[in-house]
Structure 1
Amino acid sequence: MKLRSLLGMLLCLALSPVWAEDDDDELKPWQELEASLPAFPKAEDLLPFVVSAATSNRFLVDARSLSVDGDGVVRYVLVVETAGGARNVTFEGMRCETRERRLYASGRADASWSLSRNRRWEPIRDAVANRHYAALFSEYFCPIGVQVRNAAEALTALRRGVHPLNERIGN
């Protein structure tokens, strides 16, 4: 009896228009939106985030630059400061769906941008080098692999030091 009920439910779901494939969505390849360069970051807008105890670098995201766009890309300005005083500023994007990142531009000392020549999306790996991308992905922008809904949600996670979904599952 239980098997028959289960099969009946599955048949109803299979025939339901809610489960019908939307040919338009299935046929459209992903299309990246044109990214506009943000204003250069100001110190008062930088939010620090923890990467690992194994690094002496400081990692910060510019709150004013953070966006979650219709193409599924979280865009942000990343600032990395070394213990020796060097500072690296980049404008980047992250795709939660594919676990990839892309560099759009690098900051110059005169607070201008230099566009990246590399337009490829690169995989995000959880390795010692460049661990900050994995931290942004798993702990702030793509908790449990799901993209944040909007910039406010990502900013809240950065300010709290963890996304609420990660707190619930103990990450």
Structure 2
Amino acid sequence: MHRRFIALVLAGAAGIASAQLVPVDPDWKEQQVPPPPALRTSGLIELEMRGSTLRFGVDPASIAIGADGIVRYVVVATSTTGTVNAMYEGVRCASGEVKVYARHNPDSGWVEGKGDWQPLHLTANSRHSLQIARNGACIGHGPNRSAEYIVRDLKTGPDRKFLSP
């Protein structure tokens, strides 16, 4: 009985490991990226970022799912002194990557980003992006059903997402 249990656990772990190896479409192309929307600092969906002195929030009006499967949004970071910076980002759920398309600085407005796709789980500066992906933007290795569902799931929070209303 004990050996059977261990075999089932190992088989389950192997299944989990292989499920994470999702083949990425070699013919995938990113569509033309729309320009960043106007910066909004009110009505943001607050993100709980433990260990950060910055407050992060997602602009629900900026969330869009492109035909290429990229979830694009604006995330606003506010310091304890009230300084506001923002990033116009895209999350590619199929590959678990994030890209910064533009940054908004108080002095210069939107400035185009020059970065490439970066792994969500390895990028220290994008902990907020990983949280957005896990808590609303992505369902498994695909985008959530719609922008409305992403907003709903981000507002609900991970501990209450699967509870009945």
Q: What SS does the aligned partner of 1:30 have?
A: coil
Task: Give how far 1:139 is off.
Answer: 1.6
Please name the residue that 1:81 is paired with: 78
Change (3 A) 1:28 1:97: closer
Please name the residue that 2:162 is paired with: 167
Matched, 1:154 2:147: no
Instruction: State TM-score, norm by structure 2.
Output: 0.72
Give the ranges of 4+ consecutive aligned residues of structure 1 lying more than 4 Å apart after TM superposition.
Answer: 126-129
One of 29, 33, 56 as aligned partner of 1:31 = 29
- The separation in 1 between residues aligned to 2:25 and 2:130, in whole angstroms, is 31
Structural RMSD (CA): 2.7
As a proportion of its length, which structure holds more helix? 1
Matched, 1:141 2:137: yes
Structure 2 unaligned spans of 5+: 1-23
Deviations 1:69-105 (A, max 9, x none): 1101000001111223332211110000100000101
- The separation in 2 between residues aligned to 1:124 and 1:156, in whole angstroms, is 22
One of 58, 62, 67 as aligned partner of 2:59 = 62
- 8 Å CA contact retained: 2:58, 2:73: yes
Same amino acid, percent of matched pairs: 26
Aligned residue pairs total 140
Of structures 1 and 2, the larger Rg is shown by: 1
Structure 1 unaligned spans of 5+: 1-25
Instruction: State TM-score, norm by structure 1.
Output: 0.70
Q: What SS does the aligned partner of 1:104 have?
A: strand
Deviations 1:110-138 (A, max 9, x none): 573111122x1010116765321221121
Please name the residue that 2:47 is paired with: 49
